[in-house]
Amino acid sequence: MAITEEPQIFLRYDSKRALTAFEEEFGNNLNIDAFESDQAAIAALKECSAPPHALFILASQPSSQGNSPLLTHARDAHPGLLKILISDAVPLDVLVSLLEKRLIDRCFEQPLDPDLVRSHVLTSALARKSHENVMPEAKPKDASDEVPTVLIVDDEPAATKYLARQLERMQNDFHVLCADSAEQALEIIQSMPGTLAVIMTDQRMPGMQGKELLDELKQSHPATVRILTSAYGEVNVALDAVNEGGIFRYQKKPWRATELMSLFQEAIARHCALASARESRLSQLEQQFNGLRDQRRELLLKNLSGPVDTAAGAPVMTLFIQALDTIPCLFANTSHLRASLETSLENDLIQQFGEQVHQQLTRLQAAASMHTKVDQASIRAALQRSEEPEYEHRSNAPAPSILLMLCESLTTLLTASGLSWRSLNLSQASGHSLILSCEAPLKLYAHLLAPLTRLSRPFLDQQVALLLLFITTYRLGGELQISGAAQSYNLVLALPLANSPEA
């Protein structure tokens, strides 16, 4: 399951010397199969059961790669295979045309940074693993059936305005917007109702550069297809944009509207493919995660309802689960699914949470014999005490009173939200009940029914504290109301005022 083996790569080389140098640099980290001809490499690609993690071309003449049978075969037969070209120097024209034919994914000039190259291969190898079990990464994006939009960013507004008008007149398939700086482009994208389909930006502009803009959009708007343009033949910028920015094309200036027409149409097709793949991944992820969530809910109720409800004297476990259901967390993505499906997370969650709850229930039983006086002063005293740094509220600490356990739980939850007992409002509702509420919403960034990547101590502590707050409140004859919002909740706790005769 884990990739403990080295990533497997195929290497096509022209000169023995280049091969030796490459092996010296990467032999320790990559498992290299080297081929001297395209035919031999193609034959090996056809034979192997699983394609390698990357295909390297060590080309002495990068221009000849434009009609490389090997790269063409790799592109058509193994669309997911990472294709990396390495050469002493790569002319911009060659890079542009290789990119246009989608023959390469990365391109490096010698001398290369081995750490960087290796990182690209390892990342791709890791990503590949994820496709085998779960779908690739996805984030929610609002889909729209509107006409797609193309945004052209250039600091010469006169030229772009004219071009935009020309393009608008030539077709009805897409809208064209213009921005005269990267900053303005970001503003436009932010305020757009839907997702931007394509962005084409000039590299050299005052303020933020084109490459930076594309880097940023790659993160924030992964479905937007990115095109870089420049009137200057800066091959370094182009290489960075390919390797880091993952650009779709590099378009040289000056442009012609007819040229751009077909470029944009291709780019929009690409955007649609990306966006719909994303959407279907999203719904698949959601479905898969819903299954996991149901399973967790069922197990939690089955394992803990009995002891918890008995200890509280009320059907508290269901109330607790219902409260969690009202607190939405982040959407599930592949990392969560992979953690749930490939690691022991799901089992550990049920087991460790169960254990901790049982420990607390044992303490509660011991505490039940202690006399608890419930009034404003004693609650304040208990809250302050549970917040002292040396106060030990671990499972093996001696049993305090139930009220103190309630305050412990509150303190844990308050601390996780960056708050303290000072944010609590205490008031006397009628003659015999005390109302405790928090002036700010409390935070719960993840919970038992949320997508998780790992279990941590603060996470488990918070879950146990929330459940214990329910248990102790009901045990003291009170009532707890949780109203959830995005990753947060408001709580109102009502406790009967009395010298409570417990047990």
Partner 1 sequence: MSPSNRKLRLYVTISQRLFRDSLLFQLLLHSDIDLVGESESGIDTLNRLESSKPGVLIIEENLQDNDGLTIAENALSLHPTLSVLLISDTPVSASRLAIYLEAGIKAVVSKHQPIQELVKTLFYIRNGQVYVGAWNKPDKPSQGVVNAYHALSGREREVAQLIASRTPIKEIAAQLGVSCKTVHSYKDRIFIKLGFERLPELILFMKRHHNGAAA
Residues that bind partner 1 (CB under 8 A): 1-6, 28-29, 115-116, 118-119, 122-123, 126-127, 129-130, 136-137, 139, 209, 211-212, 215-216, 218-220, 236-237, 240, 244, 330, 333-336, 338-339, 342-343, 415-418, 443, 445-446, 453-454, 456-459, 462, 487
Measured from the CB atom, the residue of 160 and 411 that comes closer to partner 1 is 411
- 3-state SS class at 43: helix
Measured from the CB atom, the residue of 3 and 77 that comes closer to partner 1 is 3
- Minimum CB separation of residue 73 from partner 1 in Å reads 28
Measured from the CB atom, the residue of 40 and 330 that comes closer to partner 1 is 330
Neighbours of 63 (CB within 10 A): 14
Which of 495, 444, 485, 449 is CA-nearest to residue 466?
444
Rounded to 5°, angle at Cα 447 from 442 and 453: 125
Measured from the CB atom, the residue of 135 and 482 that comes closer to partner 1 is 135
Measured from the CB atom, the residue of 40 and 341 that comes closer to partner 1 is 341
Rounded to 5°, angle at Cα 209 from 204 and 214: 120
- Minimum CB separation of residue 211 from partner 1 in Å reads 6
Sequence-separated (6 or more) residues with CB below 8 Å from residue 379: 403, 407, 426, 434, 436, 495
Sequence-separated (6 or more) residues with CB below 8 Å from residue 401: 367, 370, 371, 372, 382
- Minimum CB separation of residue 500 from partner 1 in Å reads 32
- Minimum CB separation of residue 459 from partner 1 in Å reads 5
Ramachandran angles phi, psi of 108, nearest 5°: -130, 140
Residue 62 and residue 372: Cα distance in Å, rounded? 82
Rounded to 5°, angle at Cα 175 from 172 and 180: 145
- Minimum CB separation of residue 138 from partner 1 in Å reads 10
With tokens 């303005």, the residue in question is: 184
Measured from the CB atom, the residue of 302 and 454 that comes closer to partner 1 is 454
Buried b (16+ CB within 10 A) or exposed e, 95-118: bbebbeebbbbbbbbeeeeeeebb
Measured from the CB atom, the residue of 174 and 248 that comes closer to partner 1 is 248
- Minimum CB separation of residue 446 from partner 1 in Å reads 5
Q: DSSP character for 7?
A: P
Q: Which two tokens stand for residue 362?
A: 């044992």
Q: Which two tokens stand for residue 50?
A: 């699983």
Q: Could you tell me if 65 and 57 are in contact, meaning their C-beta atoms sit under 8 angstroms apart?
A: yes
- Minimum CB separation of residue 160 from partner 1 in Å reads 22
* Amino acid, res. 203: Q
Measured from the CB atom, the residue of 340 and 473 that comes closer to partner 1 is 340
Residue 140 and residue 99: Cα distance in Å, rounded? 29
- Minimum CB separation of residue 85 from partner 1 in Å reads 18
- Minimum CB separation of residue 292 from partner 1 in Å reads 15
Measured from the CB atom, the residue of 322 and 456 that comes closer to partner 1 is 456
Q: Which two tokens stand for residue 145?
A: 């059936």
